[in-house]
A and B are shown apart, each in its own frame.
Chain A
Amino acid sequence: AQKVTQAQTEISVVEKEDVTLDCVYETRDTTYYLFWYKQPPSGELVFLIRRNSFDEQNEISGRYSWNFQKSTSSFNFTITASQVVDSAVYFCALRDTNAGKSTFGDGTTLTVKP
């Protein structure tokens, strides 16, 4: 069975602080995909990043960066110099390669205060 754990339920930071959202996953698949999505108060989920299990290269996109470590089954997400607009619920998701279904973590609610 697949499982995604986002241990941080809520995080509150002050604008311009850096913040890291943790994601730990469990799977028996040797090939799988990991995703991060953002859900702002409006409700729509927005795709942020995808990572294939065979590609451990970390990625940076503007203020966002992702650290994928297969050895610890973690796929952490860091926001640098956070802004109020970053306030949202962030979900980490794991997708298997058979049925193609995605398993979501419980989400981390990030609040960035001005």
Chain B
Amino acid sequence: GAVVSQHPSRVICKSGTSVKIECRSLDFQATTMFWYRQFPKQSLMLMATSNEGSKATYEQGVEKDKFLINHASLTLSTLTVTSAHPEDSSFYICSARGGTGNNSPLHFGNGTRLTVT
């Protein structure tokens, strides 16, 4: 089955530093990947749609300069949280569609728990 690998699983950083999170599709090519943010005991909030070879599409209210997304290959998308602040602490999850059809289920990475001190 389709496997999505996300790294790191946990990261603690100091306020003001930047953190990069990687999302890889291991056994399939993903032209589109999605980045979500999840607060404790809340739902997944779509942050942006990452498109291979082009700019990401950000959801309303998400700062594109703060959350930099790069999708340089068909198997890798990265999310960089720049100048992190404590309020950026959250669980970040990437996903990719397992097939080319629009009805293909999403396959999720294991998530990255970011703590900014």
Contacts and interface: CB of A to CB of B under 8 A. Distances in A.
Interface of A: 33, 35, 37, 42-47, 50, 52, 91, 93, 95, 97, 99-107, 109
Given A101-B49, A104-B44, A106-B42, A42 B110 contact: yes
A2 to B, nearest CB: 11
Contact of A33 (B57, B91, B103, B107): B103
B111 A47 contact: no
Contacts of B95: 45
A98 B48 CA distance: 15
Interface residues of B, number: 23
Interface in B34-93: 34, 41-44, 46, 49, 57, 91, 93
B43 A95 contact: no
B98 to A, nearest CB: 8
Given A43-B91, A95-B103, A106-B43, A101 B111 contact: no
Nearest to B49: A101
Contacts of A104: 43-44
Nearest to B2: A47
B105 interface: yes
A91 B44 contact: yes
| Highest count of chain A CB atoms <10 Å: which of B43, B97, B111 | B43
